[in-house]
Amino acid sequence: MEEFVVKEGKKLRLGYTTGSCAAAAAKAATVLLLTGKAPGSISLMTPKGIRLELPIVEAKLEEHKASCAIRKDSGDDPDVTHDHLVVSEVSYCERGITVDGGFGVGRVTKPGLDQPVGAAAINSVPRSMILENVEEVCKLYDYQGGISVVVSVPDGELLAKKTFNPRLGIVGGISILGTTGIVEPMSEAALVETIRVELKQRRADGHDCVLLTPGNYGADFIRDKLQFDPELAVQTSNFIGDAILICKELGFRRTLLIGHIGKLVKIGGGMLNTHSKYGDCRMEILAANAAASGLCAAPIEAILNCVACDEAVRILKEENVFEPTMKRLAERVGFHLSQKAEEMEIGAMLFSKEYGILGQTENAADLLQQIKEEY
């Protein structure tokens, strides 16, 4: 693709989704099946309104069936499926157009996802795109019978290990995804939607409580220090505020956030997206809480000059203000989380790799116990 977007002053090339690949491959394969001739490329209109002209990489015609492949191009987005093949095989059937997944396309094993349990992990929009494009070819060549479409991804089983699919209960391969047909590089909306999918699945399993953590540090701490399965925690990355809003929307009653102090200290200052591009106020927030706990000027200045939170914690311990500072910080974190959560009960636990649990809201221990009992 030649289309670009500009983000933070950088010109980034757009790509196209696995859903667009599957639909284009199915359209080309149907042309091959009905005419006996493989097109060199295929035209596809995406839901976003951008028309794609995609080259056909592989085309095979056998008796009663045909297949074509499209090579995925994710543009400048770091997608694990970039440069891998998506294949659609079509064959004759009695009536209608059916869509299923073959090798390398996952199967849904848990409720709460876009597709029901037992179905291939081909989401609604890609399914619609496949149906519309195959139907278009059938009308063009006045074919009145049925077409069966099977989508496969030769490297799908290996690629799935690098995705959220194992956590979501999608087994055997990747998902065929995309709501617009177009991949926008570094899409925050796509990351938030991933969080929504996982939270929706927890809710569909009947859970009222949910455990959140920003990332791998939190997952390791939950496993190693709390003896709790980290796979049961939903990773929010920097999108803590968005995750809380989704929890509210889905009807969770209780939420516990466990995270490294380097992330959660920012919440103490009201930052609910903790990405560094929105600011780095870690030492300022720690220094302010330390000052309110009685720390004098010289060590406050030392904290402001710290690079890492563990270094600042060491100073707090040396100056004997660690406990009141962490208590105050945990209260501020709890306050800002509660402002976002409103009627939903929420708590937090802060830790560091060097010092373990540093502070927690008053309800954190009870919330953790309730989550352990529920899961």
pLDDT in tens, 324-334: 999 999 999 99
pLDDT at 61: 97
Q: Where are the beta strands (DSSP E) in 114-222?
A: 146-152, 170-171, 173-174, 182-183, 209-213
* C-alpha–C-alpha distance, residues 213 and 253, integer Å: 17
Q: Where are the beta strands (DSSP E) in 8-130?
A: 10-13, 15-16, 41-45, 51-55, 58-62, 65-71, 85-93, 97-101, 104-105, 107-108
pLDDT at 37: 96
pLDDT confidence band for 8 (50 / 70 / 90): low
Range 6-19 average pLDDT: 82
Tokens for 171?
Answer: 């087994």
Q: Please indicate, yes or no, whether the overall pTM of this predicted structure exceeds 0.85.
A: no
pLDDT in tens, 264-275: 999 999 999 998
pLDDT in tens, 126-177: 999 999 999 999 999 999 999 999 999 999 999 999 988 888 889 999 999 9
pLDDT at 67: 98
Range 226-233 average pLDDT: 91
* C-alpha–C-alpha distance, residues 318 and 276, integer Å: 28
What's the chain's average pLDDT? 94
**Does position 5 have pLDDT exceeding 80, yes or no?**
no
Of 98-102, 162-166, 182-186, 220-224, which one has max mean pLDDT?
98-102
More confident residue, 281 or 190: 281
pLDDT in tens, 276-289: 878 889 999 999 99
- The neighbour count for residue 62, using CB atoms within 10 Å, is 10
**Does position 15 have pLDDT exceeding 80, yes or no?**
yes
pLDDT at 186: 65
pLDDT confidence band for 187 (50 / 70 / 90): low
